[in-house]
Structure 1
């Protein structure tokens, strides 16, 4: 069970996969928002995770959309 792996220090592969998918989703959303702004790049990208309630977690991704000068 996941609880036993957590106690014994093993990797929770289901959690790892879920957070990987959440990170991919956050990245896609960031890219879409930057494209709407006609940005050329996103710099200083960061990801944060926090516990919400019990075993629930949230992932926040953020960065700075920039327009390159010519």
Structure 2
């Protein structure tokens, strides 16, 4: 599956637009992560636990988006983006979205 943030892919043409596609994940930080973040916030620096959680969440959101596109019969996703937000005080939402298309090599 080709996944790009651009509208066009050199050497390919879009022959069918399947529609919007997304992958969503909501993760909780957990009490241990909140305590470590609070302590790290006092001295400054990167909070590695949150960084790892967000990286994993983005990868999972992309995997879910790709699975959704496969089910729609697409072989590529164009204009891929991420969005994120918080739900409550301890949950993070990550969504990967784009347009599922069928590409043909020129």
Give the alignment's TM-score, normalised by structure 1. Answer: 0.84
Work out the number of aligned pairs and report it. 70
Specify which structure has the higher proportion of strand: 2
Give the alignment's TM-score, normalised by structure 2. Answer: 0.58
How do residues 17-28 of structure 1 correspond to structure 2 at under 5 angstroms?
17-28=52-63
**Tell me, which stretches of 5 or more residues in structure 2 are unaligned?**
1-35
**Tell me, which stretches of 5 or more residues in structure 1 are unaligned?**
none
Match of 2:41 in 1: 6
1:45 aligned counterpart, secondary structure: strand
Residue in structure 1 matching 2:68, options 10, 33, 37: 33
Name which structure has the greater RCO, CA cutoff 8 Å, separation 6+. Answer: 2
Report the aligned-residue RMSD: 1.6
Specify which structure has the higher proportion of helix: 1
